Amino acid sequence: MLKDILLSEIMPIVEEFDLNTNEDTVYEIRLQAAANNFITEASKLPRASGCFPPCGFQEQGAVYNCMTCQYDSCEFPLDCPVKEIKIVETNRTQMRCKVPFILPTDIEIVWRYAMEKTVLMDNFKEVTVGVDPLYFIPSARLEHSGTYQCEIFSQEHSLARIYYYLTVVPLAQLGHAELQEVFDQALLPGGQFPHLSQTVPVTLWLPSPVLLTMCLMSVLLLIFISLG
């Protein structure tokens, strides 16, 4: 939008200058007027309020001010929103330390764990340190429930902290829920379970008329023989 405003103010002056239609001294006044018009129209444009970053710090992310030829760091928050994960006991799950921007090649990843749902650093205990962005739990147990934090470092500078809150549902609770569902179905009107899918037709096989005729004749013949 700024480019369109600029072209609309400058291009008429450029065309006149190429055609030598005016003295050179005229363009100083014309250019100053065009600059004033540009500032007026540009100030009417909607402005972004602050930065629109994903979570995590990015050195190249900033607000650039064309009026003062300066830029201000967005100061992206390191802490990303907590993501909820719910699985049944004994099932496997995985959490990935992933951010929506390009990371340096020399990153280090630290995984931490806290028993409660939290983002406070003092509540976490360090679990692993390395370069693997994946945290895998092959068979979840109840004690695996809690908050998992993955922090990404580059040259000892923290780039992002990602959180997962894991809820492990006990097998007994799942069985109770299924039993409750069966009980609720039994309480439907008429005390009957709902019918299965009505889209599957029930097909009954019937014998052909010829076969029915032969069977009937055989029965009659047996009756006549039994009567002498």
pLDDT in tens, 32-70: 889 999 889 988 888 766 666 678 887 777 777 777 777
C-alpha to C-alpha distance for 55 and 79, rounded to whole angstroms: 7
Cα distances (Å, whole numbers) of residue 95 to 38, 74, 152, 221? 51, 28, 14, 79
Strands (E), the chain: 62-65, 70-73, 79-88, 93-96, 107-114, 125-130, 134-137, 146-154, 157-169
Cα distances (Å, whole numbers) of residue 133 to 35, 104, 151, 210, 226? 51, 13, 10, 74, 89
- What number is the average pLDDT over the span 153-157? 89
The answer to whether residue 199 scores a pLDDT higher than 50 is: no
The answer to whether residue 136 scores a pLDDT higher than 90 is: yes
In the prediction, which pLDDT does 12 show? Answer: 87
For the chain, what is the mean pLDDT?
A: 82
**Domain at 79-171: CATH code:** 2.60.40.10
pTM of the predicted model as reported, rounded to 2 decimal places:
0.54
Domain boundaries, the chain: 2-39, 79-171
Spell out the residues 6+ positions from residue 159 whose beta carbon is closer than 8 angstroms to its own: 56, 57, 58, 78, 99, 103, 107, 152, 153
Chain segment 73-87, per-residue pLDDT in tens = 776 778 898 999 999
C-alpha to C-alpha distance for 26 and 61, rounded to whole angstroms: 42
